[in-house]
Structure 1
């Protein structure tokens, strides 16, 4: 019988280091490396054995996992973070550039297994609990997004029919196909984005009314895009969208467009990750209205 958190930590560490004595969960063609299902390890992330990684885990670029790391299920590890000699309990988010060494992390709680001391992190951008997604909630959220997209399609139909031909005549309507790297679906998605330059009254009005987003609204009805979520940042000299996003499907409007302060892609990803973890269906609609009123995306 385990009496202390320290004994639990030492037993888990001993099990990982002496894996040949036990039948451990996971699949791997390499010794001392045990992986669950739906594990997404982005390019640039490093895995140092021995490690054990559960199901539905997202490890972002630049992160170092191991040695001696036990990662639970439903985990997100953000960019350039280090997890070694530690246990991450299920449903834990590890923020960007965070070091977790010789600790037990459970949601926003960080535990020293030797002393038993605990630290509650108040900043959800550092560590927080990932609420397990229920299929019913996901269906409701998708339905609400679709209904809101339908409403926008109706409201913006006339402005689109008037402005689209004018922009075409002025050669101010450009489409670019972008490849969105594996995220929550673990599949690559090709999306098409419209680019309108803020030139002339028609160009500025089209951007103010989000006419450039109008064609994408149909994909929300088909379930291929979310109405609001992560709007990928696109480099002007490449057709591949930055892979800094994790566990997020592309959307017509971005959570980052609701805020004024993000100055670069990293700031935008921070906002996107925060709302991904903490936003709900009804809150999404409020954030959508804020994004529509916010002229930052102009």
Structure 2
């Protein structure tokens, strides 16, 4: 059996209104992309191949799900025009659709089923039911022409139902229902050794904080002192919740910082956007409201900047002779391995040595041990254009420009917190940038500097 998935963008315009940078297929319900629920459903029905059709860019979806091997599925992708009907999409993908029996998922909706019951129904070869009066869920046998009215999967009992997600209110209500009443019906992310509680990796909270079930905590989450989270709270990946904040019956979407001294109930928090889960009203919070605390942390004092300047001057003096003796011959023989980097919040660009290019040769790796790739950046510190320790200096590409725009404050430095930890590139980067912004101080910066220098000297460049 095969499956064709098609959701026209016009069916989910509210997603772009409320979550501007999230693809509708990747919108997370209880920290799990909507499309992944579809894949779980398909795997239970022993569907072998899936074709995902979109009338917008499909690159982000393809990067996330790839070929489907993780789910034991063969996933392929196809583009449609916004005006294409389901019949047009079917005809354009005829070679895929006609080879086996076909299930079509048409529209933007959630398949409501009990994972365990559905497996037992299928294994006992019972007829699977569906109350889908709008025919979002369609079954076509191999020999059935599309022109004939497609039949629903069948009626037996209420083991399956289809729920449209036509607004942010539907999204909030469905998320709360999955967490509080149906968390055993689906495969949810995180580990759980207690009922109604799901935890991701790298979750840190002090003994003064309090969590109340049911709740879902994503990966790379930090709670500060005297925070209270739950009941009915969904916290996404890469989230920091600052001190004395209470969150109940709310969704904190991934890559979000929540300021201190807040009481949030019945809300969806997406970066600097606050949405009521009860009325759908949405407001954009200004930097002064949302990030007042982190701005105070990042605005380094004169003393801090003076200390950084003096250390930078010392490092330039130490590295100058090795740079003249070792780097200049390397440049003559190997060329100049540079890339464009972003050096401020306004996305100004400068070209500097790229350690990713230098590490390809043994000579370059030796220079990285000596941190000679940072010599040019240290000169920027002396001219007060960047800091010695700050946010990571990102390469100039679309992904990193978006990440910088998402940060409330961006003050790049030669050395960064991300370099000091054993972290992989990926979505965790924004977490460490938020972590740095929230904890910035002279002592904190000195600790980062010492860790990075020691790590680089002993182990070289590892990214």
Short-chain TM bin = 0.5 to 0.7
CA contact (8 A) 1:231 1:252 kept: yes
3-state secondary structure, aligned to 1:170: helix
Structure 1 residue corresponding to 2:412, chosen from 250, 253, 278:
250
3-state secondary structure, aligned to 1:249: coil
The alpha-carbon deviation at position 96 of structure 1 amounts to 5.5
Structural mapping, 1:49-68, within 5 Å: 62=22
Asked if 1:175 is matched to 2:362, the reply is no
CA contact (8 A) 1:163 1:202 kept: no
CA shift digits 1:93-141 (9 cap, x unpaired): x9751799xxxx761654448xxxxxxxxxxxxx998255289843222
Gaps in structure 2 of 5+ consecutive residues: 1-14, 28-167, 169-235, 239-244, 246-250, 267-289
Counterpart CA distance in 2 for 1:231 and 1:136 is 16
3-state secondary structure, aligned to 1:224: coil
The alpha-carbon deviation at position 149 of structure 1 amounts to 0.9
| 1:191 alignment partner in structure 2 | 350
| 1:203 alignment partner in structure 2 | 364
CA contact (8 A) 2:391 2:433 kept: yes
| Deviates further, 267-276 or 198-207 | 198-207
Asked if 1:227 is matched to 2:388, the reply is yes
Structural mapping, 1:81-100, within 5 Å: 97=254
| C-alpha RMSD over aligned residues | 4.3
Structure 2 residue corresponding to 1:273, chosen from 415, 431, 434:
434
After superposition, the Cα gap between the structure-2 partners of 1:134 and 1:201, relative to the gap in structure 1 and judged at 3 Å, is closer
Residues matched between the structures, number: 200
Considering only CA atoms, is the larger Rg found in Structure 1 or Structure 2? 2
Instruction: Pick 1 or 2: higher relative contact order, CA cutoff 8 A, min separation 6.
Output: 1
Gaps in structure 1 of 5+ consecutive residues: 1-44, 49-58, 68-78, 82-87, 89-93, 114-126
3-state secondary structure, aligned to 1:227: strand
CA contact (8 A) 2:386 2:413 kept: yes
CA shift digits 1:16-49 (9 cap, x unpaired): xxxxxxxxxxxxxxxxxxxxxxxxxxxxx9666x
TM-score (ref. length: structure 1) = 0.54
| 1:153 alignment partner in structure 2 | 316
The alpha-carbon deviation at position 193 of structure 1 amounts to 2.2
After superposition, the Cα gap between the structure-2 partners of 1:270 and 1:248, relative to the gap in structure 1 and judged at 3 Å, is same
TM-score (ref. length: structure 2) = 0.36
The alpha-carbon deviation at position 250 of structure 1 amounts to 2.2
After superposition, the Cα gap between the structure-2 partners of 1:60 and 1:231, relative to the gap in structure 1 and judged at 3 Å, is farther
The alpha-carbon deviation at position 210 of structure 1 amounts to 1.0
